[in-house]
Structure 1
Amino acid sequence: MGPDFKRLSVFRTVVNSGGVNAAARVLHKSPSAVTYDLQQLERQLGASLFRKSGRRLVLTPRGRALAASIERAYLDLQQAWEGLGDANGREPLRIACVSGFGRYRLVPRLMRMMPPERPVEVLFRTASEVQALLESGRVALGVSYRPLVTAGIVSTPLAEEELVLVGPKTRRAAPRPEDIPKLPFVTYEEFDYVFFRWFEANGLPLPQPWHRVDHFDELEEALESVASGRGWSIVPLDSALGRAYGSRLRVHRPRRHACINDIHLVGSEHELRGEDAALLMQAAKAG
């Protein structure tokens, strides 16, 4: 069964209006009808979207996730609508990036180079999701630590990043190499590629078993967990040295040789020969 767009719209109205009664006035429906729509949506999803807090309805974690997804979809639709209606508007630069390199190196430099009248749309995704967005045509170019090569998509080297072991700033002493596999680790989406690459480059055995204390979808929450002293992680050096965490994290290198990871620019052959690809190449190499 596909999404129930009618009831998803009711759910969005309840969230944005602040409650069932206010949503009922906006939708010109009775409060009982709005409540019924919410109950049917929860039944279809098999999850509670709201909980009661006194006389108020409060979103559950799944409710918040659904509301955020709906708002992203509406924003995408609004941008597409505005772009089609503006004959003189320039096509946005649409790219999908793996989070570490994109957030902490590429995008800050790109923003300093972009003309103010050119819109930009950046989606931070996993490597597999970058590929899916390219294949669907949702974005024109992707940035990934994997050289994605499929039908109609090619790859070219873009930059390099260093992967490092990080711990809280309060932990001054570096762990001994033989103790690293036993550390409590904080992981994030697609951590396996980054962690395995780092352990291999440093000649260390993978933890058996893993001692994982926290796991997050996003790299930022993992960095926050490490900075708070909850565990250790392996992350791109750019993220560890960023303004948000540079004063709260300590970088540890068991060996003198850095663990270098290749970053690739991916897209169609036509897109990789275009001005946008050249701009991204220039931004990636900017100091």
Structure 2
Amino acid sequence: MNVEMRYLHTFRAVCEAGSVRAAAGVLHRTEQALSYQLRKLEEALGMPVFQRGSGRLIPNAAGERLLAFCREMGRDWEKLHQDIHAASPIVPLRISAVSGFGRYQLLPLFRDGPLADVPIRMRYPTAEDIIRQVESGVCDLGFVHRMDTHDRLSHTPVGVEEIVLIASAHLVQPLALDAQSLRDARYVTYDESDYVFATWFTQVLGMNMTRLNTVTHFEELEEVLDWVAAGRGISIVPTACIAEHEARGEVVALRKPETRCRNTIYAVLDPARHHAAIERVLEAVRTRAMF
């Protein structure tokens, strides 16, 4: 059984807030994303954890035991966090990155790559929030997928990512990459997808689709990929995030061989602040991204 920590965090938030809608406001996520995570949690456990049928989500007997576990785990985690920081004089590098690049290209450098010895705190907010966090000093380093002018922060190009249109590998009829077919298609969108979609349509079709038939919207790319794999719509995402789904034969990337969509990744820095690990991180990112 593999239960992701964020699903437990969502479960506890929904229990304490009383509804998915209230928890979505607390967590600053969409209701669809939270509902998806609760469904995945119950699938992993093999049983329901809520009494359904009323307006308020109330945990059942299994849910009560799980909620007690989550609260105990939260207390243990907080104590461990405090103990680690009390024992270590090393200041972690605080990083904010857009999800597609951060989760699938940046994080592996720290997990099992050349930066495995660098302590970090990683966040995946929107590009606008990344700018605000670097500006306010909440983060030391940010990574965004577009260039924004700023009177104090620097935007340094550090890599290039490919953006692709993806569909279920089990489509009965292949999707044509022409304006009419794509105008009639059903799309799964996500936070940050407006810019990603516009970039792909502009580079590949030479136009922008201002109105899309959106069937659902998620916060995280994991949910988008699962929805597309199930044939519930198509989407446009950074190619780095689809490797596992492609390997399992669940999704396919649809490309025009003569027109690849590429987008620059920028590191966001405040020149007035410094962390000893920043230059090393930027060099590793440039090497991995083959910029």
Q: What TM-score do the two structures reach when normalised by structure 1? A: 0.68
Q: Does 1:263 pair with 2:269?
A: no
- C-alpha distance in structure 1 between counterparts of 2:144 and 2:267, whole Å: 7
What is the aligned counterpart of 1:219 among 203, 221, 230? Answer: 221
For residues 78-122 of structure 1, what are the alpha-carbon distances to aligned partners after superposition, in whole Å with 9 as ceiling and x for unaligned? 74x557634x52111211110111111121133311244x42211
SS class of match (1:113): coil
Asked if the contact 1:213/1:231 (under 8 Å) is kept, the reply is yes
Going from structure 1 to structure 2, the CA distance change for 1:156 and 1:52 (only over 3 Å counts) comes to closer
Aligned pair partner of 1:51 in 54, 57, 62:
57
Give a deviation string over 1:6-37, Cα, whole Å, max 9, x none.
Answer: xxxxxx9xx59xx99xxxxxxxxxxxxxxxxx
The AA in structure 2 aligned to 1:52 is: I
Q: How many residues align?
A: 237
Contact preservation (8 Å) 1:181, 1:206: no
Shift in CA distance, 167/186, structure 1 to aligned 2, threshold 3 Å = same
Counterpart in the other structure of 2:170: 170
Cross-structure match for 1:95: 95
List aligned pairs for 1:10-29, cutoff 5 A: none
Q: In structure 1, list runs of 5 or more residues that go unmatched.
A: 1-11, 21-37
Q: 1:193 to 1:223 in 2, by over 3 A?
A: same
Q: Secondary structure at the match of 2:244?
A: coil
Q: What is the alpha-carbon distance in structure 1 between the residues aligned to residue 141 and residue 78 of structure 2?
A: 17
In 2, are the aligned partners of 1:141 and 1:277 still within 8 Å (CA)?
no
Identity of aligned residues (%): 26
Counterparts in 2 of 1:89 and 1:234: CA distance versus 1, 3 Å = same
Determine which structure has more spread, i.e. the larger CA radius of gyration: 1
Partner of 1:243: 244
Change (3 A) 1:170 1:138: same
Gaps of 5+ in 2: 1-8, 27-53
8 Å CA contact 1:110–1:283 kept in 2: the answer is no
4+ residue segments displaced more than 6 Å: 55-58, 74-78
What does residue 137 of structure 1 align with? 137
| Superposed displacement of residue 187, structure 1 | 0.3
One-letter amino acid of the structure 2 residue matched with residue 128 of structure 1: E
Find the counterpart in structure 1 of residue 38 from structure 2: none
Query: Which residue does 1:187 correspond to in 2?
Result: 189
Q: Deviations over 1:125-150 (max 9, x none)?
A: 11011112212222100011123443
Coordinate RMSD, CA, aligned: 3.9
Q: Is the 8 A contact 1:182 1:207 kept in 2?
A: no
Q: Distance in 1 between matches of 2:272 and 2:261?
A: 32
Following superposition, the deviation at residue 244 of structure 1 comes to: 4.2
Q: Any idea what the Cα deviations from partners look like across 1:204-262, whole Å, max 9, x if unmatched?
A: 5444642111110111111111111111100001112x224543111111351211101
1:285 offset after TM fit, Å?
Answer: 2.0
Within 1, Cα distance between the matches of 2:287 and 2:129?
Answer: 24
